[in-house]
Structure 1
């Protein structure tokens, strides 16, 4: 399987490395000279150019790629990359920031196959999304972090709260959410929590119990 990755920053670098180690063909698209050099020194195929330019994506193998990811730090650029890729029939993955406004989130989620954040799990999430996997399949966690999945019981203190209103004492973050009986996805900022929902958290190892208490009230 072949993939095109636009952006060779922290998330892009890790995503390319993971895909490469798993035996997939990967082409990097990048404009920064230092990053281009670093990618080539790591043994990766690189196209020097702007990934929002369809001709550059064509040079990178757009027509034969299974999926394309926009993983730069600029969500506008990432969205343009995904638009070109979608028109070519590719699966699309877009990196977004955690504070994206809800109207923008709705626009992105309606037109892109998968959105990935936060940075701590960006590479693992991007790799999983490119391959069409589920969030439960994530395995490349950053050292010191855990991904835990919980079902919210009746009477839990977070019921009727939005994702942004959950008060964690730790550095825990909600990474994915699923309504009862449905698959898990990146949650909208204003997503309300209901009994029976499943919530996936990214949390530091030492803060697992306090994060569970914040969600479940136990």
Structure 2
């Protein structure tokens, strides 16, 4: 997938690194000279300029991008860039810095797909918001371990099973379970698994593709490609 990230600060650059490590194409927009140099030193493609300007966004490839992350500390830049990106058909993720403003921006920026603030959501969370979908990474516990939240689909082989009937690979375990729209809880053995339910799983990267096949219903080839790249989509 192709992403445009506005802002090469702490949140923006970390998000860009996570996306690149998972095999995605990332272009960064930044207007601060020092931050531009830092991003280029890390071998990112960087467009210098104001991310709220349509011409700069077009130079960064917004017309071909799948999603835009407006992750600067400037609310006006983030808001304007998100509106322009939405016009070009992108998924949009907008950063705000104060939690109390979230309701205001959700009310007046209804077209923005996700609103995040770093105090609650770091680089992994920003990446999940950009990707959307039925699988999201929660944390990398170790180089070979990841905690993921997966949403059951209609195609999942385990749809209709109970927790006690669920057989995950040896190097994966269920940590929490939540019915559709309900809070996550410690799972009980007789809980039924239905479309829209969520499972939080701790898994070794080696078995992530098998876990994805069981819970999300991906084909073997899809799961192998996505898990192999660390993909969460």
Per the TM superposition, whether the score is higher than 0.5 is: yes
SS in structure 2 at match of 1:55:
helix
Shift of 1:118: 2.9
Unpaired segments ≥5 residues, structure 2: 142-146, 150-177, 186-233
- For residues 74 and 66 of structure 1, what CA distance do their matches in structure 2 show? 23
Deviation at 1:100, TM superposition (A): 3.4
Equivalent pair of 2:128/2:136 in contact (CA under 8 Å): no
Cα 1:129–1:99 change in 2 (3 A) is: closer
Pairwise CA RMSD of aligned residues? 2.9
In structure 2, the CA distance between the partners of 1:103 and 1:24, relative to structure 1 (3 Å rule), is closer
Structure 1-normalised TM-score? 0.62
CA 131–108 in structure 1, closer or farther in 2 if over 3 Å, else same: farther
8 Å contact kept, 2:96–2:102 = no
Task: For residue 116 of structure 1, report the CA deviation from its aligned partner.
Answer: 1.6
Are 2:51 and 1:63 aligned? no
Long gaps (5+) in structure 1: 142-146, 150-178, 183-195, 200-218
Question: Cα offset for 1:23?
Answer: 1.1
- Counterparts of 1:3-22 in structure 2, within 5 Å, are 3-22=3-22
CA contact (8 A) 1:117 1:125 kept: no
Normalising to structure 2: TM-score of the pair?
A: 0.58
Which digits, 9 at most, give the CA deviation of each residue in 1:80-126, with x for residues without a partner? 11000000000001111233336523335512001122346321111
- Is 1:95–1:116's contact at 8 Å kept on the other side of the alignment? yes
CA contact (8 A) 1:68 1:93 kept: yes
Maintained 8 Å contact 2:94/2:114? yes
Q: Count matched residues.
A: 154
Whose radius of gyration is greater, 1 or 2? 2
Q: Distance in 2 between matches of 1:119 and 1:21?
A: 23
